Structure 1
């Protein structure tokens, strides 16, 4: 099942389509695999201090004629008095905390973009008959990993988790790991060189070692049947499993248990009755302990069960219409800033969303970490999860499409069993042209193969004709839910313009206003008609509510955004200071006036139908 390829070369996906149509298994990238529910497995953490050396010229891997070095820094050699000259020594290098971006840990690295070398020593007791995987929650953007000087895997994509088989490279007792992480922005990257958020570099999410038996559960999908409210269906895949092997699944409290047989492709189809099952919802986010076993391997999950579907212009959760009262969120850490990754970060951000009265959050503009998704499951917040196809990527470049598809595969195969996720978003604010439409519609097809149980969306730009907003992007025909971004009253017109605006939507589908809003610096108070004041932002929200309430098919909204976040595009001195100030909360946790305005509208259910 594992694909092999050359250095960061685009690869074709290997898909095994199940007979029952439940999903596909995908190997997302050369020399790495996806482990569903990896954070639920016993593991040895490699978090903490790592030695780190910036290497802007790539000296650690290339010589002065740009040839790849055989004695590169991945060998982790040490300078010795009287020995040969050396250009590095990890043992004497400063350290960086992992997980964490390097930009906010050392002032001299704040604007650094380029390769960064990491090294850490660790002890590990090898056990016969087992495999050991190095699991990386995220490494932005390109990364290569070596164990004891042997390359074990490489990866492209800054926001998805992956795992490398390091069994053959390990030695008894003492080992070292070296990683090179390069956050250089690239025109042929996903996302591309232009974004409206800070390009935090490094090992930005948790790193660990996971031990599994020779045959192990790598992916699974268990979900509630749309045809029966007490039937769980899906599949389990066992890497290295043999046809005829048994797999068991049990759901605590319900007493439900089933045993299934692996087919030749390593997949066991699951269908089981769970009488008395309580459905997961924002009002009652019930989670069940789920045990999946295959041979000597097991995964103990915590899962909720619900259905999500579209009927006409309605979004149905567990068969009932719902209005998504949401907010958009960047993975910016509250208070300390930098890339968010911890349970505390997630609890703070989603805690503010709950205070607002949200039942929904758009996690923009890339997949967020497992801690965020676990918190959403627990708190009962429905999630829009987004592939980082952002603005104008190279839509006519097949290699770029492969990168986007790999990241989508990793996103879905890592996170598919979070009850909170209801929407896979394919893209944000992309230009309208044939190459773009083919690119993103193909991603939508891929997403449906991988996970036919959720809805597909994208955040579209809209056309303006006079005072009318027109939604006729041809990409809309490939979406289940139409996402639209608009900034009337901020980038277009003034507050009175909002009141005159009407909407013309070409698709008889649910619409989510995925972005709207305006900037305000916390504590800036001048006349309400002045940009960047709290008063203007609050008034803009009030006018937007009136306009949005007139859209018949509006079924949700996620204003931009929950908290201020860093962006090098936002340079207005004394106000922005390299922050996008459209947050309802400042980066230091100060709630602006618009927070209370949105909170009142949500708690009173004053905006939107199917509340």
Structure 2
């Protein structure tokens, strides 16, 4: 019996073409702490723009498609593919930045990998895919196993029945085609990196195995760690043990009719996780032959009026927004080195918080944030103009939200789940996203829920007034707002004459603000009105914004846009953008712009923002 959350994620068959459904998958939590056989490395690949490997010329599904991985026989029947002689791509990694001819490619690519396997008794083996953008179908030894839609969340496919001892092969079709009823939809302001962009591995577990758990500090009693452990395949009465050796805490519980064991652990001496004290405890969870060891921090996060309270104390979120763009090499970020560089810059800025936009980032990011003491805003790609009146699209959003929460629920660093960014204020949108907020609260009542909203502007005699009254704000715990005074409207000095009218008695995070500058592009020395696109003008935006932001009484955090330049197909101005959004405080090649140091000083001197 699967857990309620697992059923929620995977029971709905999406109303899209066959190869775009999410079927036959599950999601194992804490996969990075389980023994696994890595399938990372070189995979044979075939670019298949017309989906020839899946459909015949009459658009009928083929029985002899590329997934058969038939050996090439020059004396046999002719065939249009040969994986053995096909070029390779590195996994993990997007295909766009590995071959120049694939930089702009959007469509299907086939991946094939041979591997050895020896079956162990009383076990199940899963193929784990950390992320594949956007629609994926998996075959093992010619048998179709599962399908998944969504480019930034993990999935696991039970391949036990398809395996045999000795030589095996896996074939995946990964299709990055943007679709109107996808999440995200057709328009985004980031590069549509395709491929197997995160780790791929084989994970073998006992027949009865721990597939989900949640352990957190009780909001009402900080001396108790509470939660549950779900054991797939377990019958009622099956014992579960949770141990935290450093706290000398050990409890035993039993599985109920839903394969879930409730857990309550006395923990009077627990050291609370915070940016100043990113304490993680080794937690051991076992049931029967299965055992998991995780590193978990314990803290509380809540609101009181317009305050955000971390462990009961007011906190101001000094942050920065980050895209999952790899420094220096560009492409989708996935490695420990990528994480070390990006979060290292955030710490150098003086941040205690990061907004991981606009989709779930690699799990290495949230693990590192736990260790570094960086609070996290985590987001799904409900971005811009989704088809908010389409129930099938809502189902996809719910699936991605549930997958993100299930994967990252054990990360103390995550304090905010975000359900959207810059969506239009319509009745259909508000109904759709309110359902998303409700689901986030249902799946994880221990964290706050937010969204990055747009604002209304009214002209005043002195300048302008920004009004925050989006009806979605009624459902949110924390209001996020994006604004670009000095770039998409007015000049930098426009911030000096802008007032703010916040219609909600809730904490406010200025979730985006800033402007573009190409690193090394400078205004003439002494120019008091620096031109757009220069480092000097970007720095001016930051100076005026900081002064304006400090006048907003209920401001409780900022995450300006953004840490590092990133690829975007919308940004085509030659010589300045060249397919990059240049709002980064650091260039894609690691050059820090002047605005980096303006924000760094404000954060380190704590002259931007206050907790109460």
- Tell me the secondary structure at the aligned position of residue 111 of structure 2: strand
Tell me what 1:473 maps to.
470
Deviations 1:251-307, CA, capped at 9 Å, x for gaps: 131111100111011010000112321110000100111100011001110110000
- Tell me the secondary structure at the aligned position of residue 170 of structure 2: strand
Distance 1:370 1:548 in 2: 32
Is the CA contact 1:102–1:109 (under 8 Å) kept in the aligned structure 2?
A: yes
Distance 1:357 1:7 in 2: 45
Tell me what 1:510 maps to.
507
Tell me what 1:172 maps to.
165
1:145 equivalent to 2:138? Answer yes
- Tell me the secondary structure at the aligned position of residue 26 of structure 2: coil
Tell me what 1:568 maps to.
569
Structure 2 alignment gaps of length 5 or more: none
Is the CA contact 2:585–2:595 (under 8 Å) kept in the aligned structure 1?
A: yes
Tell me what 2:89 maps to.
96
- Tell me the secondary structure at the aligned position of residue 584 of structure 1: coil
Tell me what 2:195 maps to.
202
Cα distance, 1:81 vs structure 2? 2.1
Cα distance, 1:7 vs structure 2? 7.0
Tell me what 2:557 maps to.
556
Distance 1:464 1:247 in 2: 56
Tell me what 1:529 maps to.
530
Is the CA contact 2:13–2:22 (under 8 Å) kept in the aligned structure 1?
A: no
More off after superposition, 495-504 vs 508-517: 495-504
- Tell me the secondary structure at the aligned position of residue 401 of structure 2: helix
More off after superposition, 32-41 vs 478-487: 32-41
Deviations 1:213-259, CA, capped at 9 Å, x for gaps: 01100000000111222210000000101100000101131111100
Is the CA contact 1:329–1:364 (under 8 Å) kept in the aligned structure 2?
A: yes
1:409 equivalent to 2:402? Answer yes
Cα distance, 1:29 vs structure 2? 4.7
Distance 2:248 2:385 in 1: 51
Is the CA contact 1:256–1:275 (under 8 Å) kept in the aligned structure 2?
A: no
Tell me what 1:579 maps to.
580
Is the CA contact 2:14–2:395 (under 8 Å) kept in the aligned structure 1?
A: no
Please give the residue correspondences for 1:592-607 in structure 2 after superposition, counting only pairs within 5 Å.
592-607=593-608
Distance 2:13 2:146 in 1: 10
- Tell me the secondary structure at the aligned position of residue 447 of structure 1: helix
Please give the residue correspondences for 1:253-332 in structure 2 after superposition, counting only pairs within 5 Å.
253-332=246-325
Is the CA contact 1:8–1:154 (under 8 Å) kept in the aligned structure 2?
A: no
Please give the residue correspondences for 1:335-354 in structure 2 after superposition, counting only pairs within 5 Å.
335-354=328-347
Cα distance, 1:360 vs structure 2? 0.2
Distance 1:7 1:451 in 2: 24
Distance 1:421 1:5 in 2: 27
1:432 equivalent to 2:402? Answer no
Q: Which of the numbers 50, 64, 72 marks the counterpart of 1:79? A: 72
Deviations 1:152-176, CA, capped at 9 Å, x for gaps: 1100000001100000000111100
1:44 equivalent to 2:37? Answer yes
Distance 2:335 2:145 in 1: 27
- Tell me the secondary structure at the aligned position of residue 539 of structure 1: helix
Is the CA contact 2:12–2:395 (under 8 Å) kept in the aligned structure 1?
A: no
Distance 1:165 1:43 in 2: 14
Please give the residue correspondences for 1:58-69 in structure 2 after superposition, counting only pairs within 5 Å.
58-69=51-62
Tell me what 2:490 maps to.
493
**Could you state the TM-score of these two structures normalised by the residue count of structure 2?**
0.96
Tell me which stretches of 4 or more aligned residues in structure 1 moved more than 2 Å.
1-10
1:123 equivalent to 2:116? Answer yes
1:392 equivalent to 2:385? Answer yes
Distance 2:23 2:182 in 1: 17
Is the CA contact 1:29–1:406 (under 8 Å) kept in the aligned structure 2?
A: no
1:443 equivalent to 2:436? Answer yes
Distance 1:7 1:55 in 2: 25
Is the CA contact 1:205–1:369 (under 8 Å) kept in the aligned structure 2?
A: yes
Deviations 1:494-549, CA, capped at 9 Å, x for gaps: 02211000000110000000000000000000145211100000111000000000
RMSD: 1.3
Tell me what 1:18 maps to.
none
1:235 equivalent to 2:228? Answer yes
Deviations 1:130-171, CA, capped at 9 Å, x for gaps: 000111000000000000000111000000011000000001
Distance 1:449 1:34 in 2: 18
Is the CA contact 1:8–1:156 (under 8 Å) kept in the aligned structure 2?
A: no
Is the CA contact 2:473–2:504 (under 8 Å) kept in the aligned structure 1?
A: yes
- Tell me the secondary structure at the aligned position of residue 337 of structure 1: coil
Change (3 A) 1:306 1:29: farther
Distance 1:129 1:406 in 2: 30
More off after superposition, 29-38 vs 371-380: 29-38
Distance 2:497 2:150 in 1: 43
Distance 1:219 1:476 in 2: 31
Distance 1:456 1:6 in 2: 24
Distance 2:72 2:208 in 1: 42
Tell me what 1:218 maps to.
211
**Could you state the TM-score of these two structures normalised by the residue count of structure 1?**
0.96
Change (3 A) 1:7 1:397: closer
Deviations 1:169-207, CA, capped at 9 Å, x for gaps: 001111000000000001100000100000000000000
Structure 1 alignment gaps of length 5 or more: 11-27
Cα distance, 1:78 vs structure 2? 1.9
Deviations 1:343-369, CA, capped at 9 Å, x for gaps: 111111000000000000000000111
Cα distance, 1:9 vs structure 2? 4.2
- Tell me the secondary structure at the aligned position of residue 246 of structure 2: coil
